[in-house]
A and B are shown apart, each in its own frame.
Chain A
């Protein structure tokens, strides 16, 4: 039996899959935060290049990957798809488990899949500088790598709790020539306001986004870039799922279950959209698609499906998505990249429509799963990725009970080499099992924006 399925470089997908082209009805439009009217391309032009705005709103089923972007992606793509026989044996499951290993990219996660095209389109428009935010530092390091390729300056607002917990992510950004600023910072109005409210705040992705958006909007040579959530980011990540589908086809297989962890939804979208598309058009109506989130920030499982801001200060377009409220500051779990109050509007829509579903787990059970994985397959995955591992293991254990030989595919979004302090905390018994008291929160006053 083949351990890893590897595509040739020529077999790397040359087009991204845009699931908007297969939705039965268009997405609810994003709204301009001031006028509350549907956002127009010109509303976004101050901070995004036109090509990305076009992709954001496009209904074309496929969008070509520029040749120059393909050249860069080939540094690490196509990525391997592994058959997890050792894990299957450890679990004594009849299920067939496959995982897509995105940890082989220079930055160590799936994030460069979109960082590279984003930097590329900005370079094409002559943008000199890009501002962004990063939670755990995965996205920041990926964008630092991508902007370096195109000689674009890069300023990264990094959520303060991660900035102190993960100093090596900052070092990586420095190696690739980017500037990394702990957020909230005194550089922006949004940051100063937050610090005034609470000088000891651990920060949040929502605040960091506000800072980066404000930086871009107030500097004429600067654009903004987001590492998740938006439609064009999910689009770029579909290269993951397209490769998986081809790799599985090469061993005459197709998944019964597709799993990914969900922060803003991009790697989950990436691995699952090609399969969700097959489901939408009736080609594979029975494929089950599961997003996995932390119990402390359970956007898809306990949030409201409503219009909300993408950031804390209310500067981004208002999007229809599952949300815990834009002012929700999730507790500092080790999976920093999953600490986001909202979710990709497309993922939200597909969950709402029942095309996909979501589950949530507590921190310590997720690390139990990561340990099982490391002790069978060898790879030490990021705490974010561990959520997907946990769900895959649970599904495989269900198969052990039922005797079903299901094919389970999950995306291993990144390695945990810079997260060893999180593993240390796990072994020291210092992990708190944070959870979201949803019914009490619902009874307290809701703070979603009033949309007519």
Chain B
């Protein structure tokens, strides 16, 4: 069966970065004035050349939003389903994706940065898998392949055999703060994406590391046993589908983007804000926080997580934070970043952190220093 791919390029992605701006959103005029030239099409080309001749059907947008790159790569037989205006805005990414969805594409392949990822996700949510060819200034969302080449490898694998699907976080980055050297990511949503276990794992694969669902199930089962074994402890469970596996063990609902409270396997409260969390913690003798790793660069407790403020973390205590992540996620993030928004608190985590990665298994990861400066 031929795989149908909706392909789009955000032509202005990355232009800001090339001229020393930390992003292009709202700064295109300034970027052009500083001499920036569209580069995203070239990044896309690297991937497309590898896809030439594969049994794939492409739907795309006219001119710089896809057609040009497909032509240069020598890919024929694609269909233009969206007419690109000049100049383009983020609205065009959204409109094109809506058209792709109507055409029933199997996958949206886009070339851009975090802003583009967010536009694609906002349009199709988790209904269609999303894969990004990295070309932006910021790529903190987890839908990006590591390189254009690896994006192509993932797609070639897809057309041949099974699909390895995984959840991928879309993050918002505060542009203004970022330009001041301050990274604030906030979880925006969970897209569906694809991955190639062999490619990310390298030469040595271990069986249990290959399957996302299996790993999540193991993490969920283990922590469910811990929760039942500690009936006096209240557990605040953070966003994500890895943490969601714990709720599944108990058959209770989980707020995908929020914090829920669980005790003895029963749901105490859901989608709590900071104030509600503090009120809850004040009543409890001991509480723990279970959070997953967010984003492509691997952050723990991004400061955009408003509900769990430094005050909340101090009330809970660092020793009562349980971090979870699948082995695949951990293989993509050699170093983790703790970013509570409170430097003293971040430092208190020390040089290493133990991350629960399976049933009765953890991995020790190094904690790095977060900076947006090169």
Contact of A332 among B206, B222, B331, B364 (CB under 8 A): B206
Contact B207 A202 (CB under 8 A): yes
Nearest residue (CB) in A for B366 is A433
Given A430-B201, A432-B327, A445-B228, the answer on whether A161 and B360 have CB atoms closer than 8 Å is no
Binary contact readout A142-180 vs B (1 if CB under 8 angstroms, 0 otherwise) = 000000000000000000110011000000000000000
CA distance A179 to B41 in the complex (A): 57
Nearest residue (CB) in B for A160 is B207
Contact B214 A200 (CB under 8 A): yes
Contact A436 B202 (CB under 8 A): no
Contact of B363 among A428, A434, A440 (CB under 8 A): A434
> Which chain B positions have C-beta within 8 A of A160?
207
> Which chain B positions have C-beta within 8 A of A425?
202-204
Min distance, Cβ B122 to any Cβ of chain A, angstroms: 34
Given A435-B364, A444-B222, the answer on whether A332 and B208 have CB atoms closer than 8 Å is yes
Contact B226 A331 (CB under 8 A): no
Cβ of A31 within 8 Å of any chain B Cβ, yes or no, is no
Cβ of B358 within 8 Å of any chain A Cβ, yes or no, is yes
Cβ of A398 within 8 Å of any chain B Cβ, yes or no, is no
Given A424-B203, A425-B204, A443-B229, the answer on whether A437 and B327 have CB atoms closer than 8 Å is no
CA distance A316 to B333 in the complex (A): 42
Cβ of B365 within 8 Å of any chain A Cβ, yes or no, is yes
Min distance, Cβ A393 to any Cβ of chain B, angstroms: 19
CA distance A295 to B354 in the complex (A): 12
Contact A437 B204 (CB under 8 A): no
Binary contact readout A321-335 vs B (1 if CB under 8 angstroms, 0 otherwise) = 000000011011010
Contact A434 B331 (CB under 8 A): no
Cβ of B345 within 8 Å of any chain A Cβ, yes or no, is no
CA distance A296 to B225 in the complex (A): 20
> Which chain A positions have C-beta within 8 A of B359?
329
Cβ of B125 within 8 Å of any chain A Cβ, yes or no, is no
> Which chain A positions have C-beta within 8 A of B360?
328-329, 436-437, 441
**CB within 8 Å of B: which of A360-399?**
362
Binary contact readout A186-219 vs B (1 if CB under 8 angstroms, 0 otherwise) = 0000000000000011100000000000000000
Contact A161 B206 (CB under 8 A): yes
Contact A432 B203 (CB under 8 A): no
Cβ of A421 within 8 Å of any chain B Cβ, yes or no, is yes
Contact B203 A202 (CB under 8 A): no
> Which chain B positions have C-beta within 8 A of A445?
225, 228-229
Contact of A428 among B202, B206, B330, B356 (CB under 8 A): B202
Cβ of A130 within 8 Å of any chain B Cβ, yes or no, is no
Contact B358 A430 (CB under 8 A): no
> Which chain A positions have C-beta within 8 A of B322?
440
Nearest residue (CB) in B for A164 is B207
Contact A165 B204 (CB under 8 A): yes
Contact B363 A432 (CB under 8 A): yes
Min distance, Cβ B353 to any Cβ of chain A, angstroms: 11
> Which chain A positions have C-beta within 8 A of B225?
444-445
Contact of B226 among A164, A201, A443 (CB under 8 A): A443
Contact A437 B354 (CB under 8 A): yes
Given A160-B207, A201-B207, A296-B361, the answer on whether A430 and B202 have CB atoms closer than 8 Å is yes
Nearest residue (CB) in B for A440 is B226
CA distance A328 to B359 in the complex (A): 9
Given A434-B362, A436-B360, A441-B360, the answer on whether A331 and B203 have CB atoms closer than 8 Å is no
Nearest residue (CB) in A for B225 is A444
Contact B362 A430 (CB under 8 A): no
CA distance A252 to B217 in the complex (A): 58
**CB within 8 Å of B: which of A220-255?**
none
Cβ of A422 within 8 Å of any chain B Cβ, yes or no, is yes
Contact of A435 among B201, B230, B354 (CB under 8 A): B354
16 A-B pairs in the complex with CB atoms less than 8 angstroms apart:
A200-B207, A201-B208, A202-B207, A202-B208, A295-B364, A331-B206, A331-B208, A332-B209, A334-B204, A424-B204, A432-B327, A433-B363, A437-B360, A437-B362, A440-B223, A441-B360
Residues of B within 8 A of A (CB): 201-204, 206-209, 211, 214, 222-223, 225-226, 228-230, 322, 327, 330-331, 334, 354, 356-365
New A-B contacts (8) at CB < 8 Å, excluding given A201-B208, A332-B206: A164-B207, A200-B214, A425-B202, A430-B201, A432-B209, A434-B361, A435-B362, A443-B229
Shortest Cβ-Cβ A-B pairs, 4 listed = A332-B206, A444-B225, A425-B204, A430-B202
